[in-house]
Amino acid sequence: MPQTFAFDIYGTLIDTAGVTRSLATMVGDQATLFSSRWRDKQLEYSFRRGLMRDYVDFSVCTRQALEFTSAQLNLPISDTAAQALLDEYRRLPAFVDVPTALQQLKSAGHRLYAFSNGLPDDLEALLETAGIRHAFVDIVSVHEIRTFKPDPAVYRHFLTRSGATADGCCLVSSNPFDLLGGKAIGMRTAWIRRSDANHFDPWDRRPDLTFASLSELQQAFSE
C-alpha cells in the first residue's frame, strides 16, 4: 500500500563525509578526524539550541562547529577556505544507492518528503545538485518552526505539513537520535545502518525496521 516517507537528508541520503576530500587539501591526514568532529559538534550545537529555545538556523550551527573544530584540533583554516567548505555543504554527493531507490519508491506510488534540520534554500540546492530533488513531493524544514530534531514539535509539524498520520508515515534516517524523536510521537521508523560501526542507543525504543542501505528499504517496500 502506498504510504508517506519522511527522509532525513544529512547522513542518510547525502554523504556528509564528502567534505573530507576538500579538507584533505587543508589539514592533510587529519581530514577524516576533522570531518567527524565537525559533524558531531554541528549536531551538538543544534541539540543545545533546541533545549535552550535559542534558535539560529542550521547553517550557523555548521559554521560555529567548523570554527570550534579548527580551534580544538589546532588546525587553522583561513576565512576563504572556511567559506569554501561551507559552500560545499550545499553540494555534497548522494550515497550511491540513493537515486535509484528513491525513484523506484516514487514509481511504486509512495509519497516521499525530504525532512531536515537544514534551511529550505540550502536543501533545495543540495538535492538539486545531487540529482534527487525530483523524487520528493516537498521539503519540510525545521526552520519553519524554529527548533531542531529531536524536538517532538518537529515531527508533529512534519505530519501537519504532509497530511500524514503517525502510523501511516515511515521516518527514514541513519541517525538514532532522529528515529528516537519520531518514535516518541508514534511514527514508524526505519534505520539505515550504513556501517557495522554504527550502533543504536540502548534505550527502551528500537527502530521498527533496520536496513544496511536504501536499496534494501526499497526492496522491502516493493514486495
- The enclosing domain of 41 has a CATH number of 1.10.150.240
| Phi, psi torsion values for 5, nearest 5 degrees | -115, 135
Rounded to 5, what percent of the chain is helix, strand, coil?
55, 15, 35
- The total number of structural domains in the chain stands at 2
Q: How distant, in Å, are the alpha carbons of 21, 63, 89, 96, 116 from that of 84?
A: 12, 11, 9, 24, 22
C-alpha cell at 57: 538556523
pTM for the structure as a whole: 0.95
Per DSSP, the three-state class of 116 is strand
Both 180 and 79 in a single domain? no
87 flagged as catalytic: no
Instruction: Considering only CA atoms, give the Rg of the chain.
Output: 17
Give me the torsion for CA of 197, 200, 206, 212, rounded to 10°.
-30
Q: How distant, in Å, are the alpha carbons of 27, 68, 120, 131 from that of 73?
A: 10, 9, 31, 34
CATH number reported for the structural domain that contains residue 125 in this entry: 3.40.50.1000
Both 109 and 215 in a single domain? yes
Both 30 and 107 in a single domain? no
Both 82 and 137 in a single domain? no
Give the per-residue SS3 of 119-167: CHHHHHHHHHHHCCHHHCCEEEEHHHCCCCCCCHHHHHHHHHHHCCCHH
Distance CA 140, CA 145 (A): 10
- Summarize pLDDT for 11-63 with one digit per residue, the tens: 999 998 878 888 999 999 999 999 999 999 999 999 999 999 999 999 999 99
Point out the domain boundary residue: 25, 54, 88. 88
Both 106 and 146 in a single domain? yes
Point out the domain boundary residue: 59, 88, 117. 88
Among the listed residues 8, 15, 97, 151, the single catalytic one is 8
Per DSSP, the three-state class of 171 is strand
Both 81 and 97 in a single domain? no
Distance CA 63, CA 83 (A): 9
Q: Is the pLDDT of residue 1 over 60?
A: no
Q: Find the domain containing 77 and state its range.
A: 17-88
Point out the domain boundary residue: 88, 114, 132. 88
- Summarize pLDDT for 129-168 with one digit per residue, the tens: 999 999 999 999 999 999 999 999 999 999 999 999 999 9
Both 110 and 210 in a single domain? yes
Task: Tell the residue number behind the cell numbers 563525509, with chain if given.
Answer: 17
Both 108 and 163 in a single domain? yes
Contact 99, 131 (CB under 8 A): yes
Both 72 and 115 in a single domain? no
Q: Percent of the chain having pLDDT more than 70?
A: 99
Both 82 and 102 in a single domain? no
| Nearest by Cα to 17 from 45, 39, 42, 1 | 39
